[in-house]
């Protein structure tokens, strides 16, 4: 009797890929609608007579060496009365990594094709009283599959109640799937969103997770459900935080402080951010990759 060859490792197929990409698009639509509703709801006078903002959408295609389909994405960018600049981008790309970059990605090689889909959001607010925010979730497939993502809050004027609301929402999302997730992922967030060269955190944290492997369909179902839970939690809590503060007045000194604090955001995204590196290394759209940068910033 001969030994049977080992069963091939399970990796997400077209059904799972299509489901994930469709979810990221659905979440994008929900968030954009909520943000435009906030633009309509503003009643104060600090918007300088600006009309309520609306998202402008632009599709892009990822280039390939041989002219074949390599996927692409869609930018949704708004400059508004409440949201000075907010991007909610989705993408689904595929192809091959360069040999050097493949060595940095689990289960990848220059010969192994990759597939990646996700949503990425960064909001820079007109008022210094309303915190900036980042959210990203994604699914990646090489010779294995996994989910990653998270959300973090960056206030210009710290507010303990905002911080508690944000963390409570994300903790509930974590607790619904694994009692260890929140402690693990909030710590990971604090460590990841840390400006090593300044020895200071970027904001007040949130959660960050990566490499939630999908070695079988059951694991994929669990981790996809958790990733949806994170997106839903963010879509509920952040608009609530914005509405709490968007009518408050602010001073020119507070605005100046906001512009300086935004510099920390620029420094992190250009020096440390994994998503920025992934996009640049895989031929992504430059404007979509750098949409996270604020429209106005100041260094003292």
Domains of the chain: which residue ranges?
14-40+71-292
223 carries a ligand binding annotation: no
What mean pLDDT comes out for the span 167-173?
Answer: 98
- CATH superfamily of this structure's domain 14-40+71-292: Coproporphyrinogen III oxidase, aerobic (3.40.1500.10)
Q: Is the pLDDT of residue 158 over 90?
A: no
Q: Tell me: the pLDDT tens digits for 78-134?
A: 999 999 999 999 999 998 887 878 787 887 776 788 999 999 999 999 999 999 999
Q: Output 8 or 281, whichever has higher pLDDT.
A: 281
283 carries a ligand binding annotation: yes
Q: Tell me: the pLDDT tens digits for 219-263?
A: 999 999 999 999 999 999 999 999 999 999 999 999 999 999 999
Contact criterion met (CB below 8 Å) for 263 and 195:
no
Q: How far is CA 255 from CA 169, 285, 296, in A?
A: 28, 31, 11
Residue written as token pair 């997400």: 12
What mean pLDDT comes out for the span 2-6?
Answer: 52
- Indicate the pLDDT class of residue 173, thresholds 50, 70 and 90: very high
134 in catalytic set: yes
| Marked catalytic residue, from 47, 94, 96, 134 | 134
What mean pLDDT comes out for the span 136-154?
Answer: 96
What mean pLDDT comes out for the span 162-166?
Answer: 98
231 carries a ligand binding annotation: no
136 carries a ligand binding annotation: yes
What does the pLDDT read at residue 1?
45
What does the pLDDT read at residue 7?
52
Lowest-confidence pick of 94-108, 176-190, 194-208: 94-108
What mean pLDDT comes out for the span 190-197?
Answer: 96
Mean pLDDT, the chain, rounded, equals 92
Dihedral over Cα of 187, 193, 198, 203: its sign = negative
Name the token pair of 111. Answer: 């010969």
285 carries a ligand binding annotation: yes
91 carries a ligand binding annotation: no
What does the pLDDT read at residue 218?
97
284 carries a ligand binding annotation: yes
Q: Tell me: the pLDDT tens digits for 59-82?
A: 999 887 777 888 999 999 999 999
Classify residue 10 by its DSSP letter.
Answer: P
């Amino acid at each position: 009797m001969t030994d049977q060859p080992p069963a091939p490792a399970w990796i997400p197929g077209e059904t799972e890929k299509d489901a994930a990409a469709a979810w990221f698009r659905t979440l994008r639509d929900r968030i954009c609608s909520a943000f435009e509703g906030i633009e309509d709801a503003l009643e104060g006078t600090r918007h300088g007579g600006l009309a309520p903002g609306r998202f402008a959408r632009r599709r892009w295609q990822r280039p390939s060496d041989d002219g074949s389909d390599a996927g692409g994405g869609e930018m949704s960018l708004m400059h508004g009365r409440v949201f000075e600049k907010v991007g909610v981008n989705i993408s689904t790309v595929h192809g091959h990594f360069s040999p050097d970059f493949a060595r940095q990605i689990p289960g990848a090689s220059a010969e192994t094709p990759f597939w990646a889909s996700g949503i990425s959001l960064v909001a820079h607010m007109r008022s210094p009283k309303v915190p900036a925010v980042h959210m990203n979730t994604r699914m990646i497939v090489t010779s294995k599959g996994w989910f990653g993502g998270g959300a973090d809050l960056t206030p210009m004027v710290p507010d303990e109640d905002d911080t508690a609301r944000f963390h409570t929402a994300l903790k509930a999302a974590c607790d619904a799937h694994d009692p260890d997730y929140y402690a693990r992922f909030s710590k990971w967030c604090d460590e990841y969103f840390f400006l090593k060269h300044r020895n200071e955190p970027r904001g007040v944290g949130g959660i960050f997770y990566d490499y939630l492997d999908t070695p079988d369909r059951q694991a994929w179902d669990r981790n996809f459900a958790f990733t949806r839970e994170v997106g839903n939690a963010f879509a509920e809590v952040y608009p609530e935080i914005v509405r709490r503060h968007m009518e408050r007045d602010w001073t020119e000194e507070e605005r100046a402080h906001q512009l300086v604090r935004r510099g920390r955001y620029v420094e992190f995204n250009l020096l440390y951010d994994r998503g920025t590196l992934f996009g640049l290394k895989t031929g992504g759209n430059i404007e979509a990759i750098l949409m996270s940068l604020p429209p106005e910033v100041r260094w003292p």
